[in-house]
Structure 1
């Protein structure tokens, strides 16, 4: 097991590079988990609003007082450039103009074109203020229709619109009794990216080093058969990947105490099979002896590419049919699809989940066979003899 031991020694030196990805992933997971466990209370967001009252009547001032109860009223100079600058630099969110004749038209029940405004674009503050003003004037008009005076209608409208209801934001996990919460599903959702990035950073670099021409020629001259050499390379890679996977699983168990119950077992099995696939991919790529800069490029393309195409970073329901059709040829697609069914993002079907797991395993088997074929063609004794003859002839 000389090759196996040598790989572990080299991997120890590369371990800090992988730990960066793992630590960042764990820290983000802890932050998200802690945030989700807090009681979620709904709070109305206050806007910074400036109001220019061209009507200057008790009715218009009553409107300003009403707006000020739920928002912050700021005073700025009534100059277009000043207003635009304030909006651009976010000193105010919305500039409201109460047009002249507001009180008269409101008393007559005319609620159209009572206001003007300045705003940068159609954002939340614009929609919110438009809805607030519409509710206020519509309520006043309704009370006027009921026969009340303008002052009484304004008071009644303010009282009705000032009613507050306590709202608690509740989260419902679709998994029901599956003990596979939304947060935990998200933890497994992003695990493939971390596995690919961390494993490729260490395993591929080590394997490329081990496949160095001088080292390979010396190994082929030894008593170690090429098949045993390849087997030990797989074993060394598998041990490292297994260690990374176990670390992530243990951390997941700490973050979610119900990890080993219900459908969570499927998620654990799903992540294990994908880790085997990642091992197979890393050994297969390293067989072509890419240079370090090329290897870094391959790592980024595979990790980020599969994350975007297969639904890791972007939900599958958002992706187009063409993108998903291409993603079917990538193992991460089947991982995410299984994870979605386990979390009930898609309807849970045990046979479909098992089918996804088997397809992932099929990718691993195919890559292992291709790796054996490539290594037999490139690193066999006959290949070295052929190379030596060519050198001798030259």
Structure 2
């Protein structure tokens, strides 16, 4: 197994860059997982509001006090230019003007022209403050119509509007599959890009080094068969791919302890198959012996190309039919399609998932066959040339 051992000696120089990529991927995944696993509760937003009370009555003061309870009050000068600048630079979200005559109108049941405002058009603050003011005015008006005094109406309105229901944001998977949530499916969704980047950059570079002319001719002069040499290259590449994939699976188990339960097993198998596909892709790329800068370019083109065309970085739903028709000729498309079904992003079908597996394995088999043909054509000349040189040397 001399070739096998030599491969891993060469790999040592590339491991630091591969580990950096893996650590970065784990760090980003941990941040996303931590954000998605927090308890999802709805909380009302607090706005930065300034209030200009032109009515200056007990009634307008009561409204201002009510607004202060759920928002942060900012004091600025009552100047149009200053107010507009404050909104533009987001020092305030909303400037409320309580018009003169507010108290008289609300007691009379007239709700027209009670307020003025400065705000950004069609912003969240407009809708939010409009809802708050409408609820307050309508509640006070309703209690006044019941015969209560204004103070009693204001107190009752504040009590009614201060009642908050606890709202928890909950999302259930379509098939009740709690062990493979849509949130954690993102871990497997983005894995192909980092697999392509690491495996091709490391495996292809090692194989290119092993296939250099001097090493290749020396191997052909030895008693080692071509089949044995190729087998050891594939074995070493597969072992490296398996170790990298296993590291991702261990990282996934740390981020989600239930990753190895339920339907998540399908995602694990899907990722393993794709890792094998990328391994065969790396061996095929190395067969053409690209230079280091060309190899880096190929790695980026394959990684980013499949990520954007196949739905890794961009959801499949927003990709055009022409793009998807091209993506079907790439293995990452079938990986993403299976992953979306497993996560219930699209309708789950076990038969279609298995079909995606088989298509990916078909890509792997095709690349192995092409690699063997390329190596046979490319390196048979080296063996022939070596034999001719030996015969010429014997004659002399």
* TM-score with structure 1 setting the length: 0.87
Q: Spell out structure 1 runs of 4+ moving beyond 6 A.
A: none
Please say if residues 49 and 96 of structure 1, whose CA atoms lie closer than 8 Å, have aligned partners that are also in contact.
yes
More displaced stretch, 83-92 vs 340-349: 83-92
Deviation at 1:349, TM superposition (A): 1.2
Per the alignment, in what secondary structure is the counterpart of residue 116 of structure 1? strand
Query: What does the per-residue CA deviation read over 1:52-86, in whole Å, with 9 as the maximum and x for residues that have no partner?
Result: 22333333222211111111111012233333333
Deviation at 1:39, TM superposition (A): 3.3
Return the alpha-carbon distance in structure 2 between the equivalents of residues 49 and 128 of structure 1.
12
Over the residues paired in the alignment, what is the CA RMSD in angstroms?
2.9
Query: What does the per-residue CA deviation read over 1:79-133, in whole Å, with 9 as the maximum and x for residues that have no partner?
Result: 3333333334432222223334434444454445543333346433333223222
Return the alpha-carbon distance in structure 2 between the equivalents of residues 5 and 268 of structure 1.
29
Deviation at 1:373, TM superposition (A): 2.4
Return the alpha-carbon distance in structure 1 between the equivalents of residues 377 and 101 of structure 2.
89
Q: Which residue of 1 aligns with 2:393?
A: none
Per the alignment, in what secondary structure is the counterpart of residue 97 of structure 1? strand
Deviation at 1:330, TM superposition (A): 1.7
Per the alignment, in what secondary structure is the counterpart of residue 262 of structure 2? coil
Q: Which residue of 2 aligns with 1:271?
A: 271
More displaced stretch, 150-159 vs 293-302: 150-159
Q: Cα 1:245–1:77, aligned 2, differ >3 Å: closer, same or farther?
A: same
Q: Which residue of 2 aligns with 1:14?
A: 14
Return the alpha-carbon distance in structure 2 between the equivalents of residues 377 and 121 of structure 1.
68
Please say if residues 3 and 229 of structure 2, whose CA atoms lie closer than 8 Å, have aligned partners that are also in contact.
yes
Superposed, 1:121-160 pairs within 5 Å as 122-143=122-143, 151-160=151-160
Please say if residues 182 and 345 of structure 2, whose CA atoms lie closer than 8 Å, have aligned partners that are also in contact.
no
1:257 maps to 2:257: yes
Return the alpha-carbon distance in structure 2 between the equivalents of residues 57 and 308 of structure 1.
61
Q: Which residue of 2 aligns with 1:210?
A: 210
Please say if residues 178 and 263 of structure 1, whose CA atoms lie closer than 8 Å, have aligned partners that are also in contact.
no
Per the alignment, in what secondary structure is the counterpart of residue 173 of structure 1? coil
Superposed, 1:227-246 pairs within 5 Å as 227-246=227-246
Q: Cα 1:228–1:74, aligned 2, differ >3 Å: closer, same or farther?
A: same
Q: Which residue of 1 aligns with 2:49?
A: 49
Q: Which residue of 2 aligns with 1:360?
A: 360
Q: Which residue of 2 aligns with 1:328?
A: 328
Q: Which residue of 1 aligns with 2:344?
A: 344
Q: Cα 1:204–1:96, aligned 2, differ >3 Å: closer, same or farther?
A: farther
Deviation at 1:359, TM superposition (A): 0.8
Per the alignment, in what secondary structure is the counterpart of residue 176 of structure 1? coil
Return the alpha-carbon distance in structure 1 between the equivalents of residues 308 and 113 of structure 2.
47
Per the alignment, in what secondary structure is the counterpart of residue 380 of structure 1? helix
Q: Cα 1:104–1:218, aligned 2, differ >3 Å: closer, same or farther?
A: farther
Deviation at 1:187, TM superposition (A): 2.1
Per the alignment, in what secondary structure is the counterpart of residue 313 of structure 1? coil
Return the alpha-carbon distance in structure 2 between the equivalents of residues 82 and 384 of structure 1.
86
Q: Cα 1:87–1:13, aligned 2, differ >3 Å: closer, same or farther?
A: same
Gaps of 5+ in 2: 390-396
Return the alpha-carbon distance in structure 2 between the equivalents of residues 323 and 106 of structure 1.
60
Per the alignment, in what secondary structure is the counterpart of residue 167 of structure 1? coil
Q: Which residue of 2 aligns with 1:172?
A: 172
Return the alpha-carbon distance in structure 1 between the equivalents of residues 294 and 281 of structure 2.
15
Q: Cα 1:137–1:299, aligned 2, differ >3 Å: closer, same or farther?
A: farther
Return the alpha-carbon distance in structure 1 between the equivalents of residues 47 and 334 of structure 2.
45
Please say if residues 175 and 343 of structure 1, whose CA atoms lie closer than 8 Å, have aligned partners that are also in contact.
no
* TM-score with structure 2 setting the length: 0.86
Superposed, 1:49-198 pairs within 5 Å as 49-120=49-120, 122-143=122-143, 151-177=151-177, 179-198=179-198
Q: Cα 1:378–1:161, aligned 2, differ >3 Å: closer, same or farther?
A: same
Q: Cα 1:376–1:80, aligned 2, differ >3 Å: closer, same or farther?
A: farther
- Tell me the number of residue pairs that the alignment of Structure 1 and Structure 2 aligns: 388
Per the alignment, in what secondary structure is the counterpart of residue 13 of structure 2? helix
More displaced stretch, 248-257 vs 213-222: 213-222
Deviation at 1:183, TM superposition (A): 4.0
Deviation at 1:38, TM superposition (A): 4.1
Per the alignment, in what secondary structure is the counterpart of residue 95 of structure 1? strand
Q: Cα 1:125–1:299, aligned 2, differ >3 Å: closer, same or farther?
A: farther
Return the alpha-carbon distance in structure 2 between the equivalents of residues 354 and 378 of structure 1.
36
